[in-house]
């Protein structure tokens, strides 16, 4: 617990030039979720944060729209033009008048930061009675980061950006992770005092350290355990690296919870997916978004679960099966070559190879539901045109296109009757090849 109110300021106005993209950097995705989404969720999972401000600038409209649609409790503040990280936080100052709690500043491009780390960071700040705490990390080869500068008594006195650093300062291995916890009442005046007389001509947020030290305030650093948590995204290469790190952590968590993953090098599972013990995930499986998968299931090889799947126990999702926004109850099999989207499958349902739920009308853009109740089965190559309900124990004949609800225990079949034409092949051979065969 902390005794004061906490407000977050998330920096997301920068251009992200090195992404070489028309999309703002913080809207690039990992497992289908924008980087900014990970940061906002980590910040709010601490349970301490009462209000959130996101500083937007480059492509502000797109970022604001994402925030409005997904995190309506968050307020965006425009920073135009973008004149540095200090100027970015300065935009929030008018919204924080008379605030007497802690402001945490987090970058929107560090999707691997966890709520646990932020929580203990805020607690550390309070417990050490600090006015300002900077998160730091120790790197063997700390390129591009600001360096934590200490005096002869080891007291933290400043942060120097690499571009402004002397060779001696560049040799420092403790760096600024870019996260700050600020006792707002004692430090807020610093923002009006920032100057841009530095190598980049920017207003550096990091200069609040010098200001606080000069005022005789209590300035602390909190050393991060796991450096990967502050891995920042600046390029498409970084995005791929972050994906790998996130995936590895996710698989390790699942295995520690009893999930069997045959080949951790070819399986990708989002951190928001939960899976019950003794479920086996076979090679080449990709699971993104938020999903719940039960116990004793068998997933893959080559399965794709996209988002919003709620899967029970003893379920089989086989090869070349895609599942999206669907509920699948216990003991049901979708074993081969199927698309199940916007559907509800009961228990003991058997989905034949190549069954497709046709859930989307490209003209109306409406997505409709397919409901398949307990014990029903579909023959191979069936198309279920939603909205449609297949009731308990009903059976769909192979190759059917189902456009009406099917009553319980009924067979529905739309296949044209088989026609057998004797000696048809023989006649064709005689006609085209000349009767010798
Ligand atoms: C910053 C720190 C550096 C630290 C590093 C950690 C400063 C001056 N330097 O450097 O000490 O080691 O983070 O990753 O703060 N942003 C805005 N508005 C702006 C400028 C930036 O919102 O005007 C946002 C960016 O979108 C980004 C974040 O602030 O999310 C950090 O900015 P960036 O330019 O990446 O700072 P670094 O050079 O990495
Ligand atoms: Ca950065």
Residue 332's nearest CA partner among 347, 354, 352, 321 is: 347
Based on the domain organization, do 217 and 333 belong to the same domain? no
Please name the residue whose Cα sits nearest to atom 25 of ligand 1. Answer: 14
Instruction: Give 97-132 pLDDT, tens digit per residue.
Output: 999 999 999 999 999 999 999 999 999 999 999 999
Ligand 1 pocket: which residues have CB below 6 Å? 11-14, 55, 57, 79, 82-85, 87-88, 107-109, 145-146, 159, 161, 175-178, 204-206, 232
Determine whether 245 is exposed, middle or buried from the number of CB atoms within 10 Å of its CB (0-12, 13-18, 19+): middle
Residue 99's nearest CA partner among 10, 215, 6, 218 is: 6
Secondary structure (H, E, C), the chain: CCCCCEEEEEEECCCCHHHCCCCCHHHCEECCEEHHHHHHHHHHHCCCEEEEEEEEECEHHHHHHHHHHHCCCEEEEECCCCCCHHHHHHCCHHHHCCCCCEEEEEECCCCCCCHHHHHHHHHHHHHCCCCEEEEEEECCCCCCCCEEEECCCCCEEEEECHHHCCHHHHCCCEEEEEEEEEEHHHHCCHHHHCCCCCCCCCCCHHHHHHHHHHCCCCEEEEECCCHHHHCCCCCHHHHHHHHHHHHHHHHHHHHHCCCEECCCCCEEECCCEEECCCCEECCCEEECCCEEECCCCEECCCEEECCCCEECCCCEEEECEEEECCEECCCCEEEECCEEECEEECCCCEECCCCEEECEECCCCEECCEEECCCCEECCCCEEECCEEECCCCEECCCCEECCCECCCCEECCCCCCCCCCCHHHHHHHHHHCCCC
Based on the domain organization, do 106 and 81 belong to the same domain? yes
Counting the structural domains of the chain, the total is: 2
Based on the domain organization, do 55 and 186 belong to the same domain? yes
Which of residues 208, 230, 252 is at a domain's end? 230
**Contact assessment for residue 233 and residue 35, using Cβ atoms and an 8 Å cutoff:** yes
Based on the domain organization, do 294 and 320 belong to the same domain? yes
CA of 85 to the centre of ligand 1 (A): 5
Which of residues 195, 230, 265 is at a domain's end? 230
CA of 82 to the centre of ligand 1 (A): 11
Q: What is the pLDDT of residue 15?
A: 86
Based on the domain organization, do 97 and 62 belong to the same domain? yes
Residue 211, in any domain of the structure: yes
Based on the domain organization, do 286 and 312 belong to the same domain? yes
Q: What value does the mean pLDDT take over residues 201-228?
A: 97
Based on the domain organization, do 226 and 261 belong to the same domain? no
Instruction: Give 233-279 pLDDT, tens digit per residue.
Output: 999 999 999 999 999 999 999 999 999 999 999 999 999 999 999 99
Instruction: Give 378-414 pLDDT, tens digit per residue.
Output: 999 999 999 999 999 999 999 999 999 999 999 999 9
Residue 16, in any domain of the structure: yes
Query: Both tokens of residue 416?
Result: 């044209």
Over pLDDT 70: what percentage of the chain? Answer: 99
Based on the domain organization, do 180 and 71 belong to the same domain? yes
Nearest listed ligand to the Cα of residue 233: 2
437 confidence band (pLDDT: 50, 70, 90): low
pTM for the predicted model, two decimal places: 0.93
Instruction: Give 136-171 pLDDT, tens digit per residue.
Output: 999 999 988 999 999 999 999 999 999 999 999 999
436 confidence band (pLDDT: 50, 70, 90): low
Distances (CA, A) of 34 to 243, 266, 328, 392: 12, 23, 27, 40
Based on the domain organization, do 43 and 106 belong to the same domain? yes
Determine the residue of 12, 24, 80, 107 to mutate for testing ligand 1's pocket, defined as the one with the most ligand atoms within 8 A of the Cβ atom: 107
Determine the residue of 19, 81, 85 to mutate for testing ligand 1's pocket, defined as the one with the most ligand atoms within 8 A of the Cβ atom: 85
CATH of the domain at 354: 2.160.10.10
Nearest listed ligand to the Cα of residue 17: 1
Q: Is 125 a catalytic residue?
A: no
Sheet (strand 356-358) strand order: 267-269, 285-287, 303-305, 321-324, 339-341, 356-358, 383-385, 401-402
Instruction: Give 168-185 pLDDT, tens digit per residue.
Output: 999 999 999 999 999 999
CA of 18 to the centre of ligand 1 (A): 14
Please list all protein residues whose beta carbon sits less than 5 angstroms from ligand 2, which is an ion: 232
Instruction: Give 286-343 pLDDT, tens digit per residue.
Output: 999 999 999 999 999 999 999 999 999 999 999 999 999 999 999 999 999 999 999 9
Residue 418, in any domain of the structure: no
Please name the residue whose Cα sits nearest to atom 22 of ligand 1. Answer: 13
Residue 331, in any domain of the structure: yes
Based on the domain organization, do 327 and 214 belong to the same domain? no
- Which atom number of ligand 1 is nearest to the Cα of residue 205? 15
CA of 207 to the centre of ligand 1 (A): 13
434 confidence band (pLDDT: 50, 70, 90): confident
CA of 35 to the centre of ligand 2 (A): 13
Residue with tokens 């480059």: 58
Please name the residue whose Cα sits nearest to atom 16 of ligand 1. Answer: 14
Residue with tokens 């068998």: 298
- Which atom number of ligand 1 is nearest to the Cα of residue 12? 26
Query: Distance between CA 342 and CA 364 in Å, rounded?
Result: 16
Residue 352, in any domain of the structure: yes
CA of 64 to the centre of ligand 1 (A): 19
Residue 423, in any domain of the structure: no
Residue 313, in any domain of the structure: yes
Range of the domain at 184: 6-230
Instruction: Give 68-93 pLDDT, tens digit per residue.
Output: 999 999 999 999 999 999 999 999 99
Distances (CA, A) of 200 to 83, 164, 170, 192, 220: 10, 9, 17, 19, 26
Which of residues 199, 230, 261 is at a domain's end? 230
Based on the domain organization, do 71 and 157 belong to the same domain? yes
- Which atom number of ligand 1 is nearest to the Cα of residue 25? 26
Based on the domain organization, do 184 and 216 belong to the same domain? yes
Determine whether 168 is exposed, middle or buried from the number of CB atoms within 10 Å of its CB (0-12, 13-18, 19+): exposed
Is residue 53 pLDDT above 70, yes or no?
yes
Q: What is the pLDDT of residue 69?
A: 98
CATH of the domain at 105: 3.90.550.10
Determine the residue of 14, 209, 235 to mutate for testing ligand 1's pocket, defined as the one with the most ligand atoms within 8 A of the Cβ atom: 14
Is residue 26 pLDDT above 80, yes or no?
yes
Residue with tokens 């968050």: 74
Determine whether 335 is exposed, middle or buried from the number of CB atoms within 10 Å of its CB (0-12, 13-18, 19+): middle
């Amino acid at each position: 617990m902390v005794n004061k109110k906490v407000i977050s300021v998330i920096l997301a106005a920068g251009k992200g030039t090195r992404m070489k993209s028309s999309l703002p950097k913080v809207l690039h995705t990992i497992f289908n979720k924008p980087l900014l989404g990970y940061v906002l969720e980590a910040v709010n999972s601490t349970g301490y944060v009462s209000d959130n401000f996101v500083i937007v600038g480059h492509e502000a409209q797109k970022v604001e729209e994402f925030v409005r649609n997904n995190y309506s409790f968050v307020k965006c503040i425009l920073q135009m033009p973008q004149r540095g990280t200090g100027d970015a936080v300065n935009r929030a100052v008018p919204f924080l008048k008379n605030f007497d709690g802690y402001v945490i500043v987090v970058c929107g491009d560090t999707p691997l930061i966890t709520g646990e780390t932020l929580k203990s960071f805020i607690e550390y700040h309070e417990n050490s009675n600090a006015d300002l705490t900077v998160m730091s990390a120790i790197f063997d080869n700390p390129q591009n980061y600001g360096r934590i500068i200490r005096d002869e008594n080891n007291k933290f006195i400043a942060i120097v950006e690499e571009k402004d650093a002397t060779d001696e300062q560049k040799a420092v291995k403790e760096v600024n992770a870019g996260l700050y916890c600020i006792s707002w009442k004692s430090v807020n005046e610093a923002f009006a005092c920032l100057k841009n007389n530095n190598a980049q001509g920017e207003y550096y947020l990091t200069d609040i350290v010098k200001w606080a030290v000069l005022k005789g305030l209590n300035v602390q650093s909190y050393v991060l355990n796991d450096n990967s948590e502050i891995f920042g995204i600046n390029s498409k290469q970084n995005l791929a690296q972050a994906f790998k790190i996130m995936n590895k952590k996710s698989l390790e968590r699942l295995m520690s919870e009893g999930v069997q993953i045959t080949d951790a090098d070819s399986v990708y599972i989002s951190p928001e997916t939960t899976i019950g013990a003794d479920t086996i995930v076979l090679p080449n499986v990709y699971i993104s978004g938020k999903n719940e998968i039960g116990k004793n299931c068998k997933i893959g090889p080559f399965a794709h679960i996209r988002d919003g799947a709620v899967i029970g126990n003893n379920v089989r999702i086989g090869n070349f099966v895609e599942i999206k926004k669907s509920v699948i109850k216990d003991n049901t099999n979708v074993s081969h070559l199927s698309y199940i989207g916007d559907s509800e499958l009961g228990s003991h349902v058997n989905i034949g190879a190549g069954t497709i739920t046709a859930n989307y009308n490209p003209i109306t853009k409406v997505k409709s539901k397919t409901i398949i109740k307990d014990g029903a089965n579909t023959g191979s190559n069936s198309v279920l045109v939603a909205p449609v309900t297949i009731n308990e124990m009903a059976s769909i004949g192979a190759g059917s296109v189902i456009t009406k609800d099917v009553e319980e225990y009924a067979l529905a079949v739309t296949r044209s009757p088989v026609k057998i034409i004797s000696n048809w092949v023989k006649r064709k051979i005689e006609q085209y090849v000349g009767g010798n065969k």
